[in-house]
Amino acid sequence: MHIQLMTDSGVDLPQHLIEKFELHIVPLNVIFGDDSYRAGVDLDLETFFEKMKASSELPKSSAPAPHTFYEAYKAVDPSKPILMLSLSEGLSSAYQNALMGKDMLLEEEPDRQIEVINTKTATCGMALMVQEAYTRIQEGYTFEDLTIHMEQRSEKVATLIVLKTLENLIKGGRLDRVKGALARTLNIKLLMHGSEEGKIELTEKVRGNKKAMRRFVDQVSEYSKNFEDKVIALSHGNNEERAKSLLQEFKDRYHFKDTILSDMGPLIATYAGEGGFVISFFKD
């Protein structure tokens, strides 16, 4: 491709699409105690979930350093413009570090073309953005037109989340233990969404897993009415069979044009836990 797509490992995409999109991914760091791993490089998802189950504390994550972004940009053919689609600034310092890495390279090579976009989403929402950018490149968009288009698209991503378990929210201190214990007793499930600023906010509390999943599917209609020309992306927390049937349910009900299914990576899975789901689609 004449434009290089790049992102960080806040994105969740299956390997065959990473290869198809010729995507360069700058890894975030995942920290268990004194041990640090690069997501998707030193730590695969199976090992991540095993470590998370075994640990009394949740892992921490940190954004790639500015110099790491600088090195990633520098490794790209200088004749290729780079579009970096960054994890939401509301969730990580990755966006600011990506900008600093860009400035570092431009000081050395001022003729390079690099644009960094705050996607205001994560996981499969970023996958949706990458797929959109790839499609427009194939249609012949110039780098300038692509950048403008993707900035506009970042304002239109709906990201919806349902949690099967509250254990990780309690363990991570994001939910009070007493309130968490009460919620477990009452079988409360949480529905969440990505805000306009790219933060994760509570939408509603639903009692019972079946009711929560029905509501998860129903609420899509509150964000858009026309889905036939849209793609829906879904990521799951180590629950592939249920994810496949859920994705088919979305497609059957709303007639999405296409789907993307991916495992949920360490960043979101740390708080969503096993059995959680995230979906993303464009609102218009």
Q: Average pLDDT for residues 7-33, to the nearest whole number?
A: 94
232 & 268 share domain:
yes
- Closest by CA to 236, choosing from 123, 159, 121, is 123
181's tokens: 């214990």
Q: Convert the pLDDT of each residue in 172-186 to its tens digit.
A: 444 444 344 444 544
List, in sequence order, the alpha helices (H) in the chain.
15-20, 45-54, 66-74, 94-108, 123-138, 143-153, 167-171, 177-185, 209-218, 240-254, 266-272
pTM beyond cutoff 0.85: yes
81 & 189 share domain:
no
CATH of the domain at 169: 3.30.1180.10
What average pLDDT does the chain have? 88
Distance, CA of 245 to CA of 236 (rounded, Å): 12
Q: Convert the pLDDT of each residue in 185-197 to its tens digit.
A: 446 678 888 988 9
Last residue of a domain, one of 114, 137, 153: 153
Q: Are 64 and 8 in contact (CB under 8 A)?
A: yes
Last residue of a domain, one of 138, 153, 168: 153
First to last CA, the chain: 27
111 & 164 share domain:
no
132 & 175 share domain:
no
Region label for 275, one of left (φ > 0), alpha (ψ between -120 and 50) or beta (otherwise):
left
pLDDT at 181: 41
| Domains identified in the chain, total number | 2
- Closest by CA to 235, choosing from 5, 23, 36, 45, is 45
Three-class SS state of 23:
coil
- Closest by CA to 192, choosing from 235, 161, 157, 223, is 161
Q: Convert the pLDDT of each residue in 125-136 to its tens digit.
A: 999 999 999 999
Distance, CA of 227 to CA of 234 (rounded, Å): 15
